Structure 1
Amino acid sequence: MVDKLSNSIRYVLRALDIPKNFYELVSLQDVGIKEFAKCLNFLIEEGVVCYNKKLFSLTEKGVELRKKFGIESALHCTSCRKSLLLDKRIKNIFDKFVEITKKRPLISHDFWQEYMLPIDVLYRVEFIRSKNDLENNKFIIIGDDDLLSIALALTGLVKHVTVLEIDKNIVDLINFVAEKENLPITAMVYNVEQALPEKFIGKFDVFVTDPVEAQEGLKLFLSRGLCALKENGVMYFGITSLDTSHKKKLNVQKFLSKNNCVFTDIIKNFSFYGEDFQSSSVKESYSRTKLQELFSFDIGSPDKDWYNSHFIRVQVVGKADCANKEILLGKRLYVDSDVVTFVEEHV
């Protein structure tokens, strides 16, 4: 019997004002997929939610529960996107940037790659600009398969962008485009397990990364960036509510607080990542993820973009105090007990 509602249950009751498939439902939850799975399985067992033809909907019991607790549909503005309008200068680089992204190699699951939608890369640039962190600043990016460095440089507003990236194919593409377009970018091959090169310590105004989400790997990415920042520098990073539980977020928050960092902005569900949903290999891979193992029903494969991350801005107060040494994590760089959206043989 459901007589007390957790936030997860309230989310499901609110979200199912109309039937939704698994990926629509899981995309915007915020407790982590493993915790959400317990909630969804419980509601099905209790007869609050039914699952039919790959769609979730409320049963009569679920509808009555909504009424009992006064849960109404959430209203969202559909005419504005991300509460931001792209600056004219950023709008003007969209077509060129999209053409450049088409030259990227196929994603490599060995490096945990998933390409962000080009428009969402530009929204990241716009958000950075809106926080007064774009103009005349030196950036360092660790991991740049999304080609954020190129989008930043195409604005003509940044002083320089340094990219540290493990995939040589991405490094070669960035350097090729930088030379062709005369952009202030330097990219080099780098494994985050290595100590940050001494020449980069304390040299940058802004650090940006989309880190891996295993806890040890995530903290390692952030620590490398903190080492690279000048006093009172700024960090931006993406993090999901899919492979990241509240407990893990709390541990990351404690780690950053210990290093003199304060959170200034958290923009939820800000960046989406695209896939070829008609590809048989993409569809088949979903059946082999740890994600499927959490549910008693067939989660199928998505038919539109669903995997997304929040975008976080962190201000360093003074200087961070991170050790800069080689740390070999092996598989733990990519995987922990929270991470379920991966195919086992890729790690």
Structure 2
Amino acid sequence: MKNYVEQVNERMTLQEGTQVVEQLLLESYLHPGISTKELARKTLLPVPVAAAVKRELIKTGALIQERGVRCTGEGAEWIEREWGYEGLDRSFHQALLQKTEWDDELNAILAELETLFPLRPTVDVRIDQSKCTPETSLRRAILCLKQHSLIGKRILCIGDDDLVSVAIGLLLQRLFPSGGHTATTIDVMDIDDRFIRYIEEVAKEYHLPIHCHRVDFREQLPLKLCGQYDAFFTDPPYTLQGMSLFVSRGIQAMKRIKGLPIFLSFAHKSPTFMLAMQREFVRMGLTVCANFPHFNEYEAAEMIANRSQMFILRTTDQTEPEHIGIFTDALYTGEVRQTLRTYQCKQCAQQIYVGIHGQISTIEQLKNEGCPSCSNDTFDMIEKRAVSEFKDFT
């Protein structure tokens, strides 16, 4: 059977990539009779470009112009079979895309999560774990759905003490009430065996399409997990190094396709930190698609006022991980605060001490200010010493 998206990509080159063709086709399936102007609005394309993509999809036989734009019978069957939309509760799906408040349908899913969340293992503060609320976990799943990045996709959770995988799995069951949906898979990578065991137990009990892998993100990502996923979630340690490492591992795990989403939860930080953080996004070839302050709520996380922000990042044709090999820098909050680290400029090789008693307090400050000798803003960490090793350092 024809792959309509590939056919269009063979005929026209779009800076936005294949994802926008997929989205336009999907919007036509979900909203029969949609206007070209509305397609442009939903895909963020100029109207002439949306019209051109529409015309190409009509040529392939996927769409028809008839009282607006809609899928042909053949096109609709292809979407249901290839993208996994067969059996979808269309009314519930449409309501989720539009609603902003909880209702009875969502409260039923939330009730299940509220029975599961208290049974989670206790957090390990040494690796910066914190527990989000059941509502937050479900909101993340719905956000993924609204980005058309859930149904029929391979989704990855880089660390999952928040049980986002479970929330996605339960949401899928409600979206496909007759069962039999196998097009969506959810994988979890985590270093904590306790959470892996718990998620596996829940997945088995509720028949959720979740697979877990024990992964230490300091080590190289196993080759079998690279280039496999359409989207990933992560709520990394709230250090610049932690964010950069976890996002890098996610990039390695993603398919090499432009426009794929990354759902990054992170603490609200100072302007200086946020500038350094966004430099990291640019360095990794990522764009910020959206930002939602106070999106995430946590239990007993007073240090961040129990709230954090949600970024939606998207890949580009320049996306590359910042870290590929073994990671030796300080990663977690406690490590960063209690170490003196020596960084070497990648351009001129000058060494700079960063951290407690160092020349510069934080790596984000160093990257913002640049190397004192050449102003370059990329560095290698070449040495790390614990506070007990340099009490007399001056």
TM-score range relative to shorter protein: 0.5 to 0.7
Decide whether the 8 Å contact of 1:164 with 1:187 is kept in 2: yes
Within 5 Å, which residues of 2 pair with 1:182-193?
182-193=207-218
Code of the residue aligned with 1:335 in structure 2: it is: V
Please tell me whether residue 204 in structure 1 is matched to residue 229 in structure 2. Answer: yes
Q: Indicate the residue corresponding to 2:329 in structure 1.
A: 329
1:261 match: 286
Asked whether the equivalents of residues 234 and 264 of structure 2 are also in contact (C-alpha less than 8 Å), the reply is: yes
SS of 2:308 mapped into structure 1: strand
* 1:209-243 per-position Cα deviation (integer Å, ceiling 9, x unaligned): 001111112111111111111112210111111xx
Q: Does 1:108 align with 2:99?
A: no
Q: Map residues 124-273 of structure 1 onto 2, 5 A cutoff.
A: 124-156=140-172, 159-230=184-255, 231-232=257-258, 233-241=260-268, 244-273=269-298
Compared CA separation, residues 132 and 331, structure 1 to 2 (3 A): closer
Give the aligned partner of residue 96 of structure 1.
Answer: 112
Aligned residue type for 1:312: F
Tell me the CA shift for residue 94 of structure 1. Answer: 1.0
1:207 is displaced (CA, Å) by 0.9
Contact 1:166 1:189 in 2 (8 A): yes
**Percent of aligned pairs with the same amino acid:** 23
Aligned AA (2:221): L
Cα deviation digits, residues 298-326 of structure 1 (max 9, x gap): xxxxxxx9321001101112362225211
Higher mean alpha-carbon deviation, 160-169 vs 267-276, is at 267-276
Residue 88 of structure 1 deviates from its aligned partner by 6.6
Offset from partner CA, 1:45-81 (integer Å, 9 cap, x none) = xxxxxxxxxxxxxxxxxxxxxxxxxxxxxxxxxxxxx
Give the C-alpha shift of residue 85 in structure 1. Answer: 3.0
SS in 1 for 2:296: strand
Judged with a 3 Å threshold, the aligned counterparts in structure 2 of structure 1 residues 87 and 138 are, in CA distance, closer, same or farther, namely farther
Q: Is the 8 A contact 1:245 1:338 kept in 2?
A: no
User: Which protein has the larger Cα radius of gyration, Structure 1 or Structure 2?
Assistant: 2
**Change in CA separation of 1:331 and 1:217 when aligned onto 2, cut-off 3 Å:** closer
- Aligned amino acid, residue 242 of structure 2: G
2:309 aligned residue = 310
Any idea what the Cα deviations from partners look like across 1:137-182, whole Å, max 9, x if unmatched?
Answer: 1111111111011001111267111111111100100011111111
Find the partner of 1:118 among 128, 131, 134. Answer: 134
- Greater length-normalized contact order (CA 8 Å, ≥ 6 residues apart): 1
C-alpha distance in structure 2 between counterparts of 1:250 and 1:217, whole Å: 16
Q: CA deviation at 1:90?
A: 4.1
Preserved contact between residue 227 and residue 320 of structure 1 (Cα < 8 Å): no
Cα distance in 1 for residues equivalent to 2:160 and 2:332? 21
Aligned mates of 2:266, 2:231 — CA distance in 1: 18
Specify the SS of the correspondent of 1:272: strand
> 1:228 and 1:94, CA in 2 relative to 1: closer, same or farther beyond 3 A?
same
Task: Give the direction of change, closer, same or farther, for the CA distance of 1:87–1:255 in structure 2 (3 Å limit).
Answer: farther
Once residues 156 and 104 of structure 2 are traced to their aligned partners in structure 1, the CA distance between those partners, rounded to angstroms, is 25
Question: Given the superposition, is the C-alpha separation of residues 96 and 113 from structure 1 closer, same or farther in structure 2, using an over 3 Å criterion?
Answer: same
Does structure 1 retain, via aligned residues, the 8 Å contact 2:242–2:332? Answer: yes
Cα distance in 1, alignment partners of residues 283 and 306 from structure 2: 30
Partner Cα separation in structure 1 for residue 318 and residue 166 of structure 2: 28
Opposite residue 103 of structure 1, the aligned amino acid is: L
Letter in 2 for 1:226: I
Give the unaligned 5+ runs of structure 2.
1-98, 176-182, 338-360, 364-386, 388-394
Q: CA RMSD in A?
A: 2.7
Secondary structure of the 1:155 match is: helix
Q: Which has the larger displacement, 171-180 or 130-139?
A: 130-139
Query: Does structure 2 conserve the Cα–Cα contact (< 8 Å) formed by 1:214 and 1:338?
Result: no
> Which whole-Å deviations, capped at 9, do the CAs of 1:178-221 have from their partners, x for residues lacking one?
11111110112222111111111111000110011111121111
User: What stretches of structure 1 move > 6 A for 4+ residues in a row?
Assistant: none
The 3 A distance-change label for structure 1 pair 199 and 118 is same
Give the distance between the partners of 2:158 and 2:328, measured in 1 at CA.
17
Q: TM (normalized to structure 1)?
A: 0.61
Asked if the contact 1:111/1:166 (under 8 Å) is kept, the reply is no
Paired residues, what number?
A: 231
Relative to its length, the structure with more helix (as a share) is 2
Q: Quick one: structure 1 residues 114 and 310, their matched pair in 2 at CA, closer, same or farther if it must change by over 3 Å? A: same
TM-score normalised by L of structure 2: 0.54
What does residue 14 of structure 2 align with? Answer: none
2:391 corresponds to: none
Q: For 1:178 and 1:135, how far apart are their aligned partners in 2?
A: 18
